[in-house]
Structure 1
Amino acid sequence: MGPRLPLLVAALASCLLPALGCVICDTKVVEALNSLETDYLPGHLGAEHHKNVMERVKLAVQNFKELPLDEDSYMGVVDEATLEKASWSLLKDLKRITDSEVKGELLVKELFWMLSLQKDTFAKYVAQFQKEAFCPNKCGMMLQTLIWCSTCEKQVHACRKSLDCGDRKINVHEMEDMILDCELNWHQASQGLTDYSFYRVWKNKTETLVSKGKEPTLTKTMVAPKDAGTYRCQLDTVKSSPATIIRFHVTVLPKRIVEETSSSNIPSQAEVAPDEITWGLTKPSTTLQPLSSQSPKVENMLGNLLAGLLSWGFMVLIASITIL
């Protein structure tokens, strides 16, 4: 976490004695507790118990802060995403209780059992934040908006590490595209970032600005040997100081050799018979076949018609003889 972390832990420890619980910093939680007191308790708990129960409930929520002060578990600060998750979990369980219409002593037991479980859930979320989301930068300077549980105020915390984020070796073939990527995984979570600036670094240590803007990558198409060398990327912040610095050492390799293969569907001259080659052209592979004057189906039709006519003529002849 860096050398400044123990000082931050000590500072937090000194101010957390009168602190509020972080969950109570969410206005939605405050509104839900007020609704529990004014809307739900009057019809589900004796009036003589209202004040005592609500005092204990609010104290239990405030005591979510009573976690071990440790850089891996709790330091008295959370980010907005962690507070949102913890608040949503508490509100969901509180609504489940009020929707059940539970009353009396059972209501009191349900409330405090739920708050005990939610405190464990809050501790889990905060530990995850401390491990993964609090100052996740391994190098550079990250500006992070945090909620301080002691006052429920938002403050920007600067997590400072070495600005030098190392060197990258890039190999690219001639006539292909060179892409230099300056973005680190924590950049999008950081506050107050401005522009990425890419510089060409020459052998005499001078630099030439190549590009500047919001895009974290520098792309050069169809590179040539003259594009080989050292490049430097710098991400600036609103505080006029760089957040990260990365150097790229680019090597331009020879152009890739692409082997051309002939199509297997085109026969070579050796595969064509000699008698099929005439003046460098191959004869068509198909020849015209003579058509028969009549197909078998037509012949059958004519034969049946002729037989029918003969039969009809014979019957007419017999009828004529009989009449005579």
Structure 2
Amino acid sequence: MPWQVFWIIVQIITIVQGCLKCSNDAMAIKQDFRNRFLAKKLRKEPDQKKKLQRLLDNVVDGLSHTRINPKKYMAVIDELTLGRIAAHFKRFVNRITENDFQDGQLFNEVTWGLQKLVATFEEIMPQFTKLICSNECGKLIYSFINCYSCQTNTYTCIKGIYCGERRIQVDMDEDLILDCALRWHKVYHGVKQYRFFRVVNGKQQLMASGTDSFLVKKEVNHNDTGRYRCEMLDPNGEPASRLDFQVTVLTPVGKTTWFTRPHLTPMEGPFALGVSSREPPPQEDWTAWIVIAVTGGLLSLVVVAFVCYYRHKNKKDEKEQEEEEEKENEEKGENEEKGENEEEGEIEESESES
């Protein structure tokens, strides 16, 4: 049995504390919930208050005794997992304090919430333990928090620097992407640096270096066929993993090479390398003419629509004017005819009187 495992088991047996205690925020929330909220809410029921306070203490302090599985204890935790547990505990407390639970309902809600906390802890911890020495190759440095002393310790798991070779085929004039990231790199403690090399006759020619885990080489040609290498460096600048790439550039059927690509010299800097030297001759840009044509067409449509509307309106006005004139003429004729009839009637009357 490794001495680290023996030391962990001894601490679990002899000390009663929990990983959640290493979160200052979680402990502040716990104390406020225990000593203020429960004390005020259950001041008339001291027995139930003591029972809930004791249950809260036992669950939080007993998380360190929770087995990941029947053969594994838990005595360490990483910062990310501790933050997830603390966030769950905070949501549980907020749910209780924001709702006006009374008497037996309050007791049931607190009990259920603490059971859920333990279940969440048991669910998350196996995911965390998979990260321990999860590197298939290379040198993994990871940082853990001791659940009892709350001190942060750094551990190293070494399984050889070389992580194999990947074969990549890429069509000519396409972009070559070299991805140096391995699954265990995301849990690596400290700042990671990456270096990319072109290997020619056994010698490494530096292409780029930085914090990005991938390299993009623009529009490759047959001269880019060959071996490449990437290294991930630890905080001390020493290689923590090494990955080789055997790249083959293929000639697509039906494609034409316009002119040769100049040789790229090794460089440091951004991981997007090379400006295209294989682009076809420039073509005319018809964008401006298209815009002009579309704009002119729209203006013509507007003018034609306006003219048609204007003519239609004039014809309508003329027609209405003619109708009004005809109506006036008819009224005038009717008045004249009425006047003549009246005159004739007057003449007849005067003749009869005489």
Secondary structure in 1 matching 2:149: coil
Question: Given the alignment, which residue of 18, 24, 36 partners 2:21?
Answer: 24
Change in 2 beyond 3 A, CA 1:92/1:223: closer
Q: Deviations over 1:178-198 (max 9, x none)?
A: 222212233233222342112
* Structure-1-length-normalised TM-score: 0.67
Secondary structure in 2 matching 1:239: coil
Q: What residue in structure 2 maps to residue 146 of structure 1? A: 144
Rounded Cα–Cα distance in structure 1 between residues aligned with 2:246 and 2:160: 20
Change in 2 beyond 3 A, CA 1:258/1:201: closer
Q: What is the identity, as a one-letter code, of the residue corresponding to 1:118?
A: L
Q: What is the identity, as a one-letter code, of the residue corresponding to 1:122?
A: F
Q: What residue in structure 2 maps to residue 315 of structure 1? A: none
Please report how far the alpha carbon of residue 236 of structure 1 lies from its aligned counterpart in structure 2 after TM superposition.
0.7
Q: Deviations over 1:153-184 (max 9, x none)?
A: 22233333332111011223344432222122
Rounded Cα–Cα distance in structure 1 between residues aligned with 2:81 and 2:169: 41
Please report how far the alpha carbon of residue 32 of structure 1 lies from its aligned counterpart in structure 2 after TM superposition.
2.0
Secondary structure in 1 matching 2:116: helix
Where does the alignment leave 5 or more consecutive residues of structure 2 unmatched? Answer: 257-354
Q: What residue in structure 2 maps to residue 119 of structure 1? A: 118
- 2:194–2:209: 8 Å Cα contact kept in structure 1? yes
Change in 2 beyond 3 A, CA 1:119/1:175: closer
Q: What residue in structure 2 maps to residue 206 of structure 1? A: 203
Q: What residue in structure 1 maps to residue 212 of structure 2? A: 215
Q: What residue in structure 1 maps to residue 227 of structure 2? A: 230
Q: What residue in structure 1 maps to residue 300 of structure 2? A: none
Counterparts of 1:37-76 in structure 2 under 5 Å? 37-40=34-37, 41-46=39-44, 49=47, 53-68=52-67, 74-76=73-75
Q: Deviations over 1:210-230 (max 9, x none)?
A: 222223223333434333221
- 1:44–1:101: 8 Å Cα contact kept in structure 2? no
Change in 2 beyond 3 A, CA 1:64/1:170: same
Q: What is the identity, as a one-letter code, of the residue corresponding to 1:42?
A: K
Secondary structure in 2 matching 1:193: coil
Change in 2 beyond 3 A, CA 1:242/1:117: same
Count, aligned residues: 253
Counterparts of 1:101-120 in structure 2 under 5 Å? 101-103=100-102, 107-108=106-107, 110-120=109-119
Please report how far the alpha carbon of residue 75 of structure 1 lies from its aligned counterpart in structure 2 after TM superposition.
3.1
Q: What residue in structure 2 maps to residue 249 of structure 1? A: 246
Worse overlay, 102-111 or 32-41: 102-111
Worse overlay, 211-220 or 226-235: 211-220
Q: What is the identity, as a one-letter code, of the residue corresponding to 1:119?
A: V
- Please identify which structure carries the higher helix content: 2
Change in 2 beyond 3 A, CA 1:245/1:77: same
- 1:142–1:190: 8 Å Cα contact kept in structure 2? yes
Question: Given the alignment, which residue of 158, 161, 168 partners 2:159?
Answer: 161
Question: Given the alignment, which residue of 187, 191, 203 partners 1:189?
Answer: 187
Rounded Cα–Cα distance in structure 2 between residues aligned with 1:190 and 1:60: 31
Q: What residue in structure 2 maps to residue 179 of structure 1? A: 177
Q: What residue in structure 2 maps to residue 96 of structure 1? A: 95
Where does the alignment leave 5 or more consecutive residues of structure 1 unmatched? Answer: 260-324
Change in 2 beyond 3 A, CA 1:256/1:69: same
Rounded Cα–Cα distance in structure 1 between residues aligned with 2:143 and 2:227: 35
- Higher normalized contact order (CA 8 Å, seq sep 6+, divided by chain length): 1
Q: Deviations over 1:217-251 (max 9, x none)?
A: 23333434333221211111113321210011122
- 2:9–2:73: 8 Å Cα contact kept in structure 1? no
Please report how far the alpha carbon of residue 12 of structure 1 lies from its aligned counterpart in structure 2 after TM superposition.
1.7
Change in 2 beyond 3 A, CA 1:102/1:185: same
CA RMSD, aligned part only? 3.0
Secondary structure in 2 matching 1:158: strand
- 1:174–1:256: 8 Å Cα contact kept in structure 2? no
Q: Deviations over 1:67-103 (max 9, x none)?
A: 2365986431222222222222223223333344445
Change in 2 beyond 3 A, CA 1:253/1:48: closer
